[in-house]
Amino acid sequence: MIDQRSILGALEAVHDPELHQSIVALNMVRDVNIDQNHVTVDIALTVEGCPLHQQITADVNRELKKIPEISEVTVTLSVMNEAERREAFSRAFQAAQAKKSGQQNSPPQSPTKASPPPTKAPTIGPLPGQGAATGMMADASSTVVIGVASGKGGVGKSTVTANLAIALSRSGARVGVMDMDIYGFSQGRMFGAKGQAQVNEQEKIIPWHLHGISLVSMGMFVEENQAIVWRGPMLGKMLQQFFSDVAWPELDYLLIDLPPGTGDVALDVAQKVRKAKLVLVTTPQEVASQVAHRAGDVATRARQEIIGVIENMSYVLCPHGDKLAVFGSGGGQKLADEFDVPLLGQIPLESEVREGGDRGLPITVTNPHSSSSDAFYQIARKIKEAVGQ
């Protein structure tokens, strides 16, 4: 005799591939309908269009078919609302924390001390209440928050973030950078920052301060080549901590280096910081702009304003002034047209840009009159005009 209990029991074995928790514990199993040997279950996905839904569907099928009386399984999919999603993430987070503290066998790295003698750095953990954005993240604050997004890695998102920050700062603005690309954080290297997190007396993280920019990055907590094991739900908490537990100075602009793609972090930024705007970075290739389009789509669905598109590695400038389109052309303009936003600029491919990034000396600092620096300064001007600051 098949009953609801045996079905839920079987589904305990199905784990959400991203949250690593049973879909039963995460409350993703909704309607269970038993019609003789045919079972229909509705699974509520955490996010719409979750790319992993096929795996969940296959796993549900497999586990239920292990029950001999079941001959047919139908899986229908729905999507959690905001409150349910938070609840699921919070459950997964707590379970992961519990598991982690159980496994902890090496003590966490202790932060170096700032003066006056600080206490320990806050751990990356759950924060009380995930309420509305406060401080400079709040709608009422005049700080302009801009997420820098790309469809995929390697298109120069971090390079653009760092140089744009400097260009904005050199034109008189107070600028901060939040390196939220927590799997591929590189802003510490780009700015030449060293050392671990320091905290002030209020246990707030003190940003690095380099080339006039206040900077917070995962690199303050872990080495750049150290694998990060934190999964989806942890990212949200991490983000929250970067937002609320940092002793940011007053800023006119906060640039956020987002992870590539359309993952949770970008969504979280869109949800938590309602006023956050977005800049899309792409290379000129058609495929790259298609991939970036998906990142833009998420922004549109989250009702996030896209300021414009920056095309990077657009051309190589030849000695006689010719522009050689090594990576094709048109991708940036096409993407901008698709979202009906301006193409803010095209940055040439220059080896000095890469060298600057590797040495912690961005080209906008070392060679402010190079053609790429020119492009960055022009983009900064356009952004200032666009946001009215």
Ligand X SMILES: Nc1ncnc2c1ncn2[C@@H]1O[C@H](COP(=O)(O)OP(=O)(O)O)[C@@H](O)[C@H]1O
Q: Which partner, ligand X, Mg ion, none, binds residue 179 by CB below 5 to 8 Å per kind? A: none
Minimum CB distance to ligand X, residue 100 (Å):
28
- Shortest Cβ 234–ligand X spacing (Å): 21
* Nearest residue (beta carbon) to Mg ion: 158
Residues 359 and 349: their CA atoms lie apart, in Å, by 17
Please say which residue, 41 or 361, places its beta carbon nearer to ligand X.
Answer: 361
Adjacent-strand bridge partners of 7: none
CB nearer to Mg ion: give 163 or 186: 186
Binding mask 274-293 for ligand X (x = CB under 6 A): --------------------
DSSP 228-276: P---HHHHHHHHHHHHHSB-----SEEEEEPPSSS-HHHHHHHHH-TT-
Backbone phi and psi for residue 74, each to the nearest 5 degrees, phi listed first? -120, 130
Q: Is 347 in the site for ligand X (CB under 6 A)?
A: yes
Which of 21, 57, 130, 158 is in the footprint of Mg ion by CB under 5 A? 158
Q: Which of 153, 212, 263, 368 binds ligand X (CB under 6 A)?
A: 153
Binding region for ligand X (CB under 6 A) out of 26-34, 35-43, 266-274, 350-358: 350-358
Measured from the CB atom, is 50 or 353 closer to ligand X?
353
Do strands 144-150 and 277-282 pair parallel, antiparallel, or not at all (unpaired)? parallel
Residue in 168, 353, 361, 379 binding ligand X, rule: CB under 6 A? 353
> Which residues are within 8 A (CB) of 123 and not within 5 positions of it... i.e. 6 or more apart?
108
**What values do phi and psi take at 215, rounded to 5?**
-135, 135
Q: Whose Cβ is closer to Mg ion: residue 63's or residue 181's?
A: 181
Among the listed ranges 27-35, 76-84, 170-178, 353-361, the one in contact with ligand X (CB under 6 A) is: 353-361
Provide the strand spans (E) within 93-207: 144-150, 175-179
User: Rounded to the nearest whole angstrom, what is the least distance from the CB of residue 331 to Mg ion in the complex?
Assistant: 19
Measuring CA to CA, how many Å separate 80 from each of 38, 42, 50, 216?
25, 11, 11, 32
Q: How far apart are CA 188 and CA 195, in angstroms?
A: 9
The interface region with ligand X, picked from 54-62, 101-109, 150-158, 244-252 by CB under 6 A, is 150-158
The number of C-alpha atoms within 13 Å of 151 and in the hemisphere containing its C-beta is 22
Under rule CB under 6 A, residue 346 binds ligand X: no
- CA nearest neighbour of 344 among 171, 181, 172, 164: 164
Q: Strand 213-217 and strand 208-210: pairing?
A: antiparallel
**Residues 165 to 184: which contact Mg ion by CB under 5 A?**
181, 184
Positions in the binding site for ligand X (CB under 6 A): 150, 153-159, 184, 186, 312-313, 347, 349-350, 353-354, 357, 372
Positions in the binding site for Mg ion (CB under 5 A): 158, 181, 184, 186
